[in-house]
Structure 1
Amino acid sequence: MKAIVMTGTGGPEVLVLQEVPAPQIGPGDVMIRAEAIPVLFPETKLRSGEFPLGVEPPLVFGFQAAGVVSEVGADADPALIGRRVTVATMGFGSYAEFVSAPADSVNPIPDGLSATDAAAVLMSGSVALPLLETARLTGTETVLIEAAATGIGGYLTQLAKEYGAARVIATVGGPAKAEQARKLGADVVIDHNDPEWPTRLRETLSGTTLDVVFDSIGGTTALDLLDTMTPVQGRMLSYGWLSGAPAQLTATDLITRGLTLTGCAGPDWLARVADARTAALERAAAGGLNPLVEAVLPLDQAAHAHRLIEERAPLGKFILRPDHSA
């Protein structure tokens, strides 16, 4: 079969289309004939070496895929054969024509939802839902969503008012993303490419405060935001670090302002994310969540997709599609 092999750690050029053996299917696994493979932002960090890979390349890259179950291993339900599903691998192997994954990672794709849209919404949608649940919005809060036009931020922006936000302030990078954030539901948009954007935020608040911050940028800007937050009730949910480092805060920074920070990471958090996949797919199928697809590309364009993601150019998800007719 054809697959994208990560030949080493480095730039996008290390992702190479190669002919490789079909994956082995073990007990409790399923095999799918992949139709849509999302290119995920964290994958770019693993490929570059910024995040630890855990195993040595070369290896077939990729974490998630959507397609049709073609085979099941021992201890997996044979009724799954022929079903349209999404799967999550144990870390690698999804940038391929056929993908083996644990059966307990399977989520059926609802009728009316394409494999492309299912692949697009699977990760970001399933992270956004538990973030909004954790925020415990009551209908009165002003919230700040960082990187609010795409990825997880794009889903948070779509759903924040449904979950109880009264006012949504968004940060984005550039005019095109500002326009998208407004379309998704942001009331106010601030360009975080401006180094003075925390000052712009304070001007926007005009004496009011932020009740909830969805922090995906991290770094030193997290500290800059604390004095814009509501004392005692203000809460920051930290789930990413687009700046290259997690939020640079101390307990003293939080305690002296009466604020809380929730780190949305670790095994228990990832279990909540996995549990939310079905809900994310069902919302997309019902039309309550825009999957935000940027483009569908041939499998051999994986390196190109990584390059564009690192340039922060896309307004949505890149989906890779294997050509099974070749």
Structure 2
Amino acid sequence: MQAIVMTGTGGPEVLVAREVPEPRPRVGEVLIRSAAVPVLFPETLLRSGAFPLPVEGPLVFGTQAVGVVVEVGDGVDAGLIGQRVLVASDSFGTYAEFVCAPAESAVAVPEGLSSVEAAAVAMSGSVALPLLETARLTGTETVVIEVGATGVGGYLTQLAKEFGAARVIATAGGTAKMRRARELGADEVVDHSDAAWPQRLREILGGTTVDVVFDSLGGESASALLDLMTPLRGRMLSYGWLSGAPAQVTAMDLIGRGLTLIGCAGPEWLAGVARARGAVLDRAATGSVTVLTDRVLPLAQASEAHRVIGERLTMGTVVLRPDGIAE
């Protein structure tokens, strides 16, 4: 079968299309014929070496895929065969025509939702829902959503008012993404490609304060927002560091202002994200969220997918399709 092998850490060129043996499901696993494979931002960091790989390479890369179950391992309900599912794998192996993954990770894809749409929405949407639930918005609050036009931020922007935001201010990089954030529901948008964007946010607030910050940029900008947040009840949910470093915020920074920083990471957090996958697929199927797909590429062009993501050229998820798959 065709698969994408990560030959080492480095640039996108380390992802190479090769013929490899078809996997067989072990105990507790399903085997799917893959129809759509999302290319996820965290995967680009693992490929680059920014984070250590949990398994040794070279290896078939990728962590999620959508397809039809064609075989099951011992201990798995044979009734899954023939079902279209989303699967996830902590041990990689999803950039391939056939994918083995734990049966417990399999989530049914609703009728009316294409495999490409399911692949595109699953990760970012399933992070957005727990973030919004954790924020506990009251219906009267102002929120700032960083990177609010694409990825997790794009779904936060779409859903924030449903979950209780009164005013949504998004950040986005450049004119096109600022326009997209407004289309998705932001009341105001700040261009975070300008290093002085926190000052621009201060001007937009006009003396009011921010109650909740969904922080995916991290770095120094996080500390620059603290004086714009509502004393005693302001909270920052930190779930990413696109700037290259986590939020540069100390305990004293928070204590002195009566603010809360919530770290959205770790095993318990990831378990909640996994539990949200079914809900976000249902929302996409019913149209209560708009699926943000940037482009669909052949599986063999995985390195190109990583390149455009790394250069911040995308407006949604890039999805890979194995050869010969049509829907």
> Under a length normalisation based on structure 1, what TM-score does the superposition of the two structures give?
0.99
Between the aligned partners of 2:261 and 2:149, the Cα distance in structure 1 is: 23
For 1:2, the equivalent position in structure 2 comes to: 2
Match of 2:318 in 1: 318
Give the Cα separation in 1 of the matches to 2:280 and 2:3: 28
Can you list the C-alpha shifts for 1:8-66, whole angstroms capped at 9, x where unaligned? 10000000000001123110100000000000000000000011112222100000000
Point out the more displaced range, 256-265 or 50-59: 50-59
Residue deviations 1:183-221 (CA, integer Å, cap 9, x gap): 000000000010110110101101000000000001111
Output the CA distance in 2 between the equivalents of 1:73 and 1:55.
22
Deviation, structure 1 residue 251: 0.7
Report whether the alignment pairs 1:63 with 2:63: yes
Which structure 1 residue ranges, 4+ long, deviate > 6 Å from structure 2?
Answer: none
- Any stretches of 5+ residues in structure 2 without a counterpart? none
The answer to whether residue 196 in structure 2 is matched with residue 186 in structure 1 is no
> 1:291 corresponds to which residue?
291
Other-structure match for 1:239: 239
Q: Helix, strand or coil for the counterpart of 1:133? A: helix
1:159 to partner: Cα distance: 0.3
Distance in 2 of aligned mates of 1:287 and 1:91: 32
Rounded to whole Å, the distance in 2 between the matches of 1:324 and 1:53 is 31
Distance 1:109 1:291 in 2: 14
* Residue ranges of structure 1 left out of the alignment (5+ in a row): none
Structure 1 distance, partners of 2:75, 2:54, is 28
Q: Output aligned runs, 1:85-100, within 5 Å.
A: 85-100=85-100
Structure 2 distance, partners of 1:174, 1:24, is 46
Q: Which amino acid aligns with 1:102?
A: P
> Given the two structures, how large is their TM-score scaled by the length of structure 2?
0.98
Alignment of 1:257-276 (within 5 A): 257-276=257-276
Helix, strand or coil for the counterpart of 1:231?
coil
| C-alpha contact 2:55 2:91 (8 A) present in aligned 1 | no
User: Which residues in structure 2 correspond to 1:19-30 (within 5 Å)?
Assistant: 19-30=19-30
Q: Measure how far apart 1:91 and its partner are.
A: 3.1
- Structure 1 distance, partners of 2:317, 2:126, is 14
Distance, in Å, in 1 between the alignment partners of 2:210 and 2:286 is 32
- Confirm or deny: 8 A CA contact 1:97 1:324 kept in the other structure: no
CA distance in 2, matches of 1:149, 1:12: 24
User: Following the alignment from structure 1 to structure 2, what is the Cα–Cα distance between the partners of residues 203 and 308?
Assistant: 33
Aligned-partner SS, 2:70: strand
Q: Which residue does the alignment assign to 1:204?
A: 204
Task: Write the letter of the residue equivalent to 2:70.
Answer: S
Matches within 5 A, 1:77-116: 77-116=77-116
Measured in 1, the distance between the counterparts of 2:311 and 2:192 equals 15
CA drift of 1:262 comes to 0.4
**Structure 1 residue aligned with 2:35:** 35
Corresponding pairs, count? 325
Contact 2:43–2:62, Cα closer than 8 Å, also in 1: yes
- 1:219-253 Cα distance to aligned partner (Å, 9 max, x none): 11110000000000100000000011111111110
SS at match of 2:56: coil
Q: State the AA in 1 paired with 2:35.
A: E
Does 1:161 find its partner at 2:157? no
On the 8 A contact 1:66/1:84 being kept in 2, the answer is yes
Contact 1:90 1:102 in 2 (8 A): no
User: What amino acid sits opposite 2:164 in the alignment?
Assistant: G
Distance 1:219 1:271 in 2: 26
